[in-house]
Chains A and B, each alone.
Chain A
Amino acid sequence: MYTFSNRLKIGSYILMALGVICLATGFLGAPSTVEEAREMVASAHDDGHGSDHGEAMAHSEEHDASHDEHLLHQLQNRPWAALYTAAFFFFMIALGTLAFYAIQRAAQAGWSPLLFRVMEGITAYLVPGGIIVFVILVLSVMHVNHLFVWMDPEVVAHDELLQGKQGYLNPTFFLIRAVLFLGGWIFYRQYSRKLSLAQDEANDNSNFVKNFKWSAAFLVFYLISESMMSWDWIMSLDPHWFSTLFGWYVFASMFVSGITVIAMVTVYLKSKGYLEEVHDSHIHDLAKFMFGISIFWTYLWFGQFMLIWYANIPEEVTYFVTRIEDYKLPFFGMLVLNFIFPLLILMNSDYKRVNWFVIMTGIIILVGHYLDVFNMVMPATVGDQWGIGIAEIGGILFFAGLFIFSVFSALAKAPLVPKRNPFLEESRQFHY
């Protein structure tokens, strides 16, 4: 039985408190009027290069006014986008873990049953994390922020493209879908956990068989709902743009982050002496998944990028033009973090068994995939007014604290090793 150590608990409280303070500072620092917004940008420019202003003077008065309005919205969006990016990033880790867990159950994998409780612990974050993401979406629908432009009836009235998409992109249907998706995922998570715990006390394998069937059914639901969720929650931030493999791309990102966190939590618990039967072969397998799915993510990233770059159709290519012009470092930097590093570090079979190597690569992969979400959310919401500032860091700190708190309190609620799973002995003897 795992006990949530006091140091970790206090650590997670501190992270949450720091995060709230930073986020509050970010929200208070956002401008409320056009003049303030102008001033903020002007003072930021004076620090670095003051020669840009001659060009701005040449603009017509009317254009200037709409530009300033736009700027105000971008700056007001910044703390919201920072909050949403971090909320979605940590939520997607839990969801990716849930998908991995369901695959392990449906595939009847022989190596992983020892890690089921770790995965169930991580997916416990699905409930608070999902609710927070949902609340942010409801606030967006209530026009508390301007994250999703298509939610603004004023904008839709002047935009034929958005009018054409109204059948799908309208606030009511959007929230209904969100409820359905979150409901389905959370239901499977809670029910599977219940069956998993019931299996420990049972005299037969009926709970195990039931869990197998529910996991297979969940995977069907998950593939459809995850794809639609990525259109709703991420792609609709750029409502003029569309991409067919976007759902897979977001899936790869959440899947690799989820597996990485499973490996990191496992190594942590093992180092504290809680998972004695988990040995290097299990870590090796997880590291192989981290390596393989990192490359899968890169394949999808490149598949999406190259097709659009090659054909260069104006309505599609603006998505990447804004990212390459305004986000050069995060956009290409994430490729290094998510592809080159895992490729070179985790290629060696011996390194995959070295625990601190796995942790180090895991941190790199997680930073890379945070940047990935950042690159998907920020250009559409704050444009060239981006930065990794106090609001962004606050978001990461707060959700990291909440994540650690929910995961480790869930881990402390049940024995870390399942008692009776038909594959448990195989998992104990697993050797690669």
Chain B
Amino acid sequence: MASKVIHALYNDDDILMQAVKKVRAAHHHIEEVYTPFPVHGLDKALGLADTRIAITSFMYGCLGLTVAVVMMNYMMIEDWPQDIGGKPSFSYLDNMPAFVPIMFEMTVFFAAHLMVITFYLRSKMWPFKKAENPDVRTTDDHFLMEVGVHNNEKELIELLRETGAVEVNTIEK
């Protein structure tokens, strides 16, 4: 990461998108973009890799299903196979329809909750975390692009001004 960065502020998401494309075309490294709301297509313009969170969710779901099956097989079939209202407890398959609601809910529970926790871990979010926004306006109505400086400050500032930035600041980190 560069020790010196430039913050370019925009007040329109369309202008921001154009700016991102221009800066990337000029081969400058965009460190970060702060926006008040999701800008459709920004990840593609920035060239970010696709998220893999859906894949983790699928695996968590499989885990949840396994937990449900193993738990109920142990409790209802192996440990104490009682006759409860005539339900067949000879094998798991015999009594399976009665277990399906729990299997389903456990799958969804694991898939959803573990995926959310994964998201928090990967994006480093927790209750007492210090907020990272470099400019309070980025949560309201401004968009901020952070570009690293590598001995090309003048040229970069000029480029960013051309892209329609309403404010360009150099920041020492």
**Chain A positions near chain B (C-beta within 8 angstroms):** 302, 305-306, 309-310, 312, 347, 349
User: Does B92 lie at the interface of the complex (its beta carbon under 8 Å from any beta carbon of A)?
Assistant: no
Q: How far is the CB of A156 from chain B (nearest CB, A)?
A: 35
Q: Is the CB of B97 within 8 A of A309?
A: yes
Q: Is the CB of B58 within 8 A of A310?
A: no
Beyond A306-B98, A349-B54, 10 additional contacts (C-beta under 8 Å) are A302-B97, A302-B100, A305-B97, A306-B97, A306-B100, A309-B97, A310-B97, A310-B98, A312-B86, A347-B58
A326 and B97 alpha carbons, distance in the complex (Å): 20
With a CB–CB cut-off of 8 A, which chain B residues contact A305? 97
A349 and B57 alpha carbons, distance in the complex (Å): 14
Sorted from nearest, which 4 A-B pairs have the closest CB atoms? A306-B97, A309-B97, A310-B98, A302-B100
With a CB–CB cut-off of 8 A, which chain A residues contact B100? 302, 306
Q: List 12 A-B contacts (CB under 8 A).
A: A302-B97, A302-B100, A305-B97, A306-B97, A306-B98, A306-B100, A309-B97, A310-B97, A310-B98, A312-B86, A347-B58, A349-B54
Measured as residues with beta carbon below 8 angstroms from the partner, the interface class of chain B is under 10
With a CB–CB cut-off of 8 A, which chain B residues contact A312? 86
A190 and B86 alpha carbons, distance in the complex (Å): 54
With a CB–CB cut-off of 8 A, which chain B residues contact A310? 97-98
Q: How far is the CB of A426 from chain B (nearest CB, A)?
A: 15
- Chain A residue nearest to B98 in the complex (CB): A310
- Chain B residue nearest to A307 in the complex (CB): B97
With a CB–CB cut-off of 8 A, which chain A residues contact B86? 312
- Chain A residue nearest to B87 in the complex (CB): A310
Interface majority SS (helix, strand, loop, mixed), chain B: helix
With a CB–CB cut-off of 8 A, which chain B residues contact A306? 97-98, 100
Q: Which of B83-133 contact A (CB under 8 A)?
A: 86, 97-98, 100
Which of B54, B58, B97, B98 has its CB near the most chain A CB atoms (within 10 A)? B97
Q: How far is the CB of B96 from chain A (nearest CB, A)?
A: 10
Encode contact with A along B42-65: 1 for CB under 8 Å, 0 otherwise. Answer: 000000000000100010000000
With a CB–CB cut-off of 8 A, which chain A residues contact B58? 347
Q: How far is the CB of A299 from chain B (nearest CB, A)?
A: 9
A310 and B86 alpha carbons, distance in the complex (Å): 10
- Chain B residue nearest to A308 in the complex (CB): B97
A312 and B100 alpha carbons, distance in the complex (Å): 17
A306 and B96 alpha carbons, distance in the complex (Å): 10
With a CB–CB cut-off of 8 A, which chain B residues contact A347? 58
With a CB–CB cut-off of 8 A, which chain A residues contact B98? 306, 310
- Chain A residue nearest to B41 in the complex (CB): A431
A306 and B58 alpha carbons, distance in the complex (Å): 26
Q: How far is the CB of A365 from chain B (nearest CB, A)?
A: 21
A262 and B166 alpha carbons, distance in the complex (Å): 50
Q: How far is the CB of A250 from chain B (nearest CB, A)?
A: 21
A302 and B104 alpha carbons, distance in the complex (Å): 12
Q: How far is the CB of B64 from chain A (nearest CB, A)?
A: 15
A317 and B20 alpha carbons, distance in the complex (Å): 65
A302 and B58 alpha carbons, distance in the complex (Å): 22
With a CB–CB cut-off of 8 A, which chain B residues contact A302? 97, 100
A305 and B98 alpha carbons, distance in the complex (Å): 11
Q: How far is the CB of B112 from chain A (nearest CB, A)?
A: 16
Q: How far is the CB of B86 from chain A (nearest CB, A)?
A: 7
- Chain B residue nearest to A302 in the complex (CB): B100
A312 and B98 alpha carbons, distance in the complex (Å): 12
- Chain B residue nearest to A349 in the complex (CB): B54
A312 and B58 alpha carbons, distance in the complex (Å): 35
Q: Which of B14-39 contact A (CB under 8 A)?
A: none
Q: How far is the CB of A431 from chain B (nearest CB, A)?
A: 10
A353 and B97 alpha carbons, distance in the complex (Å): 34
Q: Which of B131-169 contact A (CB under 8 A)?
A: none
- Chain A residue nearest to B97 in the complex (CB): A306
Q: How far is the CB of A243 from chain B (nearest CB, A)?
A: 16
- Chain B residue nearest to A347 in the complex (CB): B58
With a CB–CB cut-off of 8 A, which chain B residues contact A349? 54
Q: How far is the CB of A150 from chain B (nearest CB, A)?
A: 30
With a CB–CB cut-off of 8 A, which chain B residues contact A309? 97
Q: How far is the CB of A294 from chain B (nearest CB, A)?
A: 15
With a CB–CB cut-off of 8 A, which chain A residues contact B54? 349
A349 and B52 alpha carbons, distance in the complex (Å): 12
With a CB–CB cut-off of 8 A, which chain A residues contact B97? 302, 305-306, 309-310
A349 and B53 alpha carbons, distance in the complex (Å): 13
A116 and B98 alpha carbons, distance in the complex (Å): 43
Q: How far is the CB of B40 from chain A (nearest CB, A)?
A: 10
Q: How far is the CB of B47 from chain A (nearest CB, A)?
A: 19
A310 and B97 alpha carbons, distance in the complex (Å): 8
Q: Which of B66-86 contact A (CB under 8 A)?
A: 86
Q: How far is the CB of A177 from chain B (nearest CB, A)?
A: 34
Q: How far is the CB of A149 from chain B (nearest CB, A)?
A: 29
A30 and B58 alpha carbons, distance in the complex (Å): 51
- Chain A residue nearest to B86 in the complex (CB): A312
- Chain B residue nearest to A306 in the complex (CB): B97
A309 and B88 alpha carbons, distance in the complex (Å): 11
Q: How far is the CB of B113 from chain A (nearest CB, A)?
A: 19
- Chain B residue nearest to A312 in the complex (CB): B86
A105 and B11 alpha carbons, distance in the complex (Å): 38
A312 and B85 alpha carbons, distance in the complex (Å): 11
A347 and B86 alpha carbons, distance in the complex (Å): 38
A306 and B99 alpha carbons, distance in the complex (Å): 10
Q: How far is the CB of B92 from chain A (nearest CB, A)?
A: 15
Q: How far is the CB of A191 from chain B (nearest CB, A)?
A: 39
- Chain B residue nearest to A350 in the complex (CB): B50
